Amino acid sequence: MPPLSTTEYNEYLTNLLRGNRSACTRTVEKLLEHNIPVYELYLGLFQPSLYDVGRLWERNEISVAVEHLATAITESLLTLVYPILFRTERVGKKAVISCVTHEYHQIGAKMAADAFELNGWDSYFLGANTPVSDLIELVDQTQPDIVGLSLAVYSHVPQLNDAIEQLRSTFPGANVLVGGQAFRSDGARMIKRYRGVEYVPSVLELDGMITEATGNGR
Amino acid sequence: MGVRSRNSAIEQFVFDESSVFLLVTDRGGTVRRANSYAQRITGERLVGRNLRDILIGFSPHQDLESVIAQQSTRHVLDITVPGGFPRTFSFRFVDCEEEILVLGEQPNEDNDLLHANLLGLNQEAGNLNRMLQKQNAELERLNELKNRFIGTAAHDLRNPLGAIRNLSEALSRDARAAGRDEEIEILDAVHESSSFMLSLVEDLLSVATIDSGEIRLDFETSDMNELVSSNVKLNQILACERGVELCVRRNELVREVRVDRAKIQQVLNNLISNAIKFSPRDSVVSISVACADEAITLSVEDAGPGIAPEEISKLFKPFSRTSTQATDGGPSTGLGLYIAKRIVDAHGGTIWAESEPGVRTTFHVSLPLAPDS
């Protein structure tokens, strides 16, 4: 199938901004029927459309209600991918993915959790605004190979610090990855302050890291 | 248009179109005018009603004059909504000499809270949906693994079990010829047990095939009367052993039907042999065929102990057993009716049972004359 055309993308974005859930669903169903690769759907449709919605909100061209509705619709569209996602053969590895406390933007984290599933890992997705105690409890229960933390809003860096410190003190050997929109300007530099924490700039790079971790039995 | 009439038109427009709750009442709190928003919220005609019937916990005689005196104060009050939850508004009461203007706005913080809660619920629903789908996928994987295991185990057990059954039968014949009674008893027990295990293994193999979605139907045009007759012949030996008469009611009007002959034979065999096993000695098992416009219906009726109404729904579930025992107390795999249902389902048909405890039980199978396949 050819990549999504500009016209198709714009039509989808318009429907998203109008809150037309069924039209957006039809677009995604059609793409899935044509076997669009999951990452192409995430990075070619969901991610750019949400970035565009965010930019329109920043420029005060749409209300926060429209932005929230677009996010809610995208969240429901992600479920259409699940039948593909969860049928991948399991490789016996686990990841816990979570947003930090007070972080309510969870779609990026969910896409990251989905990348693990696509690679046959079992991902435990904790979602938005997760208290550190819940995160520590789940890590203790599941003993994952990787813990992923997502941060979309820069002002939540103190909560990220707290989560990383508690993870480090409770599970000194844990492999911790972080990513999200909060790091887009100087993420790599910011992350240097944390010992043993890796920064993941995008879902595609995360996929590469997962492939490597799957192969070397980390 | 003069200034007065223009202002009046603007006032009327605001009154009719604004999204605030607006009432004009007399000094006693009886509504003289209500804007369309207020009518829409309450769903009722408001003119002529008193504020005490509209605002929950508000008593005009005690409160109205005092609240008018504090024009800038907001009063958070609930409005009765017929057939729905009360709605909360922030009210101001404005003194307009003979009349009182009652102005209600929905508190913004309520809207914000509602908005945030809805978003949170949507996220939560999405996360639960993800978890559910993941667990479903996991269950499907485990089910597939189970089917594969059962299929392999059953397949590997079938041949040795068949050998045990056949050899025990042969040895039993020799023992009978030689009159070795003790041996006959032991060998008959071996034969009976291995026969049951073999039928269990056959059923497990069928279940594994059906549950893994590999059930394949080879449709061919078949005469249903002939199918029934040949199956009755197969079951005649069992019926004679149990002293049960098999009575077939042929229906010459029955048209030919496209079915997988072997699989429908399996269904018929299950229903007829079950009916024999559950029938008392000297009773009759009736097998009939009926035909309607688009379907053919086979019925097998016995005069056994019947099935309790609360157990009917369990009949077609795997490994389910009812409290009813076969006449000779023999074992059952609990899979036969489940397999029969899955075969009938695959044909686009229906299978069901009717029972009058202590009188009779009838199993019906309805098959479409023109299956979708």
pLDDT at residue B192 above 80?
yes
Share of residues in chain B with pLDDT > 90 (%): 34
- Confidence class for position A218, pLDDT limits 50, 70, 90: very low
Which range has highest mean pLDDT (A127-141, B137-151, B215-229)? A127-141
The two structure tokens encoding residue A207: 């996929």
Name which residue leads in pLDDT, B252 or A165: A165
- State the pTM of this model: 0.65
Nearest chain A CA: its distance from B149 CA (Å): 18
CA distance B308 to A25: 48
For residues A158 and A178, the answer to whether their CB atoms sit within 8 Å is no
Instruction: Report the helix count and the strand count for chain A, using DSSP H and E.
Output: 11, 5
Q: How confident is the model at residue A109 (pLDDT cuts 50, 70, 90)?
A: very high
Question: In Å, how far is B208's CA from the nearest CA of chain A?
Answer: 20
Cβ-proximal residues to B356 (8 Å cutoff; 6+ apart), any chain: B306
Is A217's pLDDT higher than 50?
Answer: no
Q: Contacts of residue B136 in chain A, CB cutoff 8 Å?
A: 86
pLDDT digits (tens, 9 = 90+) for B74-91: 888 888 777 777 888 888
Q: Output the pLDDT for position A100.
A: 94
Beta-carbon contacts of A138 under 8 Å, excluding residues fewer than 6 positions away, are A96, A98, A124, A126
- Say what the pLDDT of residue B325 is: 67
pLDDT value for B203:
83
- Chain B residues whose CB is inside 8 A of the A134 CB are none
pLDDT tens string B125-170: 999 999 999 999 999 888 888 888 888 888 888 888 999 999 999 9
Alpha-helical runs (H) found in B179-213 = 181-211
| Per-residue pLDDT band at A3 (split at 50, 70, 90) | low
| Model pLDDT, residue A1 | 42
**Are A75 and B120 a contacting pair at CB < 8 A?**
no
Q: Where are the beta strands (DSSP E) in A80-206?
A: 94-99, 122-125, 146-150, 176-179, 197-199
Q: CB B130 to CB A82 under 8 A?
A: yes
> What phi, psi does B76 have (nearest 5°)?
-85, 115
DSSP B319: T
Per-position b or e across B39-65, b if 16+ CB within 10 A of its CB:
eebbeeebeebbbbebbeebebeebbe
> Do B79 and B41 touch, CB atoms closer than 8 A?
yes
Residue B61 pLDDT grade (very low, low, confident, very high; cuts 50, 70, 90) = low
Mean predicted confidence (pLDDT) in A84-112: 93
pLDDT bracket for residue A124 (50, 70, 90): very high
Average pLDDT taken over every residue of chain A: 91
Q: Would you place residue B335 in the very low, low, confident or very high pLDDT band (cuts 50, 70, 90)? A: confident
How many CB atoms within 10 Å of residue A34? 9
pLDDT for A196: 82
**HSE-up of A143 (CA within 13 Å, CB side)?**
2
> Residue B369: which pLDDT band, with cuts at 50, 70 and 90?
confident
Instruction: Tell me the mean pLDDT in the region B265-289.
Output: 92
Mean pLDDT score, A115-143: 95
The number of residues making up chain A comes to 218
User: Cβ of B123 and A125 within 8 Å?
Assistant: no
**Cβ contacts (< 8 Å) between B141 and chain A: which residues?**
90
| Residue B228 · residue B298 · CB < 8 Å | yes
Look at A76 and B126 and tell me if their CB atoms are within 8 Å: yes
Write out pLDDT tens, residues A53-68: 999 998 889 988 899 8
Average pLDDT, chain B: 86
B123 three-state secondary structure: helix
* Residue B335 CB burial class (10 angstroms; 0-12, 13-18, ≥19): buried
Amino acid at B86: P
Q: In this prediction, what percent of chain A has a pLDDT beyond 70?
A: 97
**Torsion from C-alpha of A51, A53, A59, A62, nearest 10 degrees:** -170
Residue A39's closest CA among A73, A83, A85? A85
Of B206, B330, B344, B201, nearest in space to B274 by CA: B330
What number of other Cβ atoms are within 10 A of residue A2's Cβ? 6
Are the CB atoms for B5 and B87 separated by under 8 Å? no
Q: Sorting pLDDT into bands at 50, 70 and 90, what band is B60?
A: low
Q: Is the pLDDT at B355 greater than 70, yes or no?
A: yes
Tokens 């040895």 belong to residue: B171
For residue B135, the chain A residue with the least C-alpha distance is A86
Contact B170/B194 with Cβ under 8 angstroms? no
Mean pLDDT along residues B236-241: 90
The pLDDT tens digits of the residues spanning A167-190 come to 999 999 899 999 998 888 777 788
Q: Would you place residue B1 in the very low, low, confident or very high pLDDT band (cuts 50, 70, 90)?
A: low
CA pair distance B253, B109, nearest whole angstrom: 75
Name the minimum distance, in Å, from the CA of B122 to any CA of chain A.
7
Q: Which of B124, B134, B135 to mutate to test the interface with A (most CBs of A within 10 A)?
A: B134
Which contacts qualify for B120-123: CB closer than 8 Å, 24 or more apart?
B120/A104, B120/A128, B122/A72, B122/A75, B122/A76, B123/A75, B123/A104, B123/A106, B123/A127, B123/A128
Q: What is the pLDDT of residue B371?
A: 64
With contacts defined as CB-CB under 8 Å, which chain B residues touch A75? 122-123, 126
Whether residue A40 has pLDDT greater than 80 = yes
